[in-house]
Amino acid sequence: MNKDIKYFGIDISQKVFDVTDSDGNYYQFKNNE
């Protein structure tokens, strides 16, 4: 089994989008151009 594989969860809304990875790290970005 390859242990270098990462998984990401993404939630996109009108103002921001949130990303969580398989290590439990959380990121939030503004949803603009």
Give the domain range for residue 21. 1-32
- Give the single-character DSSP code of 22: T
Q: 2, 3, 20: which is closest to 11 by C-alpha?
A: 20
What pLDDT does residue 7 have? 93
Q: Tens digits of per-residue pLDDT, 8-21?
A: 999 999 999 999 99
Mean pLDDT of 10-33: 92
pLDDT above 90 as % of the chain: 73
Predicted TM-score (pTM) of the model is 0.67
Per-residue confidence (pLDDT) for residue 9, from 0 to 100: 95
> Total domain count for the chain?
1
pLDDT band of residue 1 (cuts 50, 70, 90) is: low
State the average pLDDT over residues 17-28.
Answer: 94
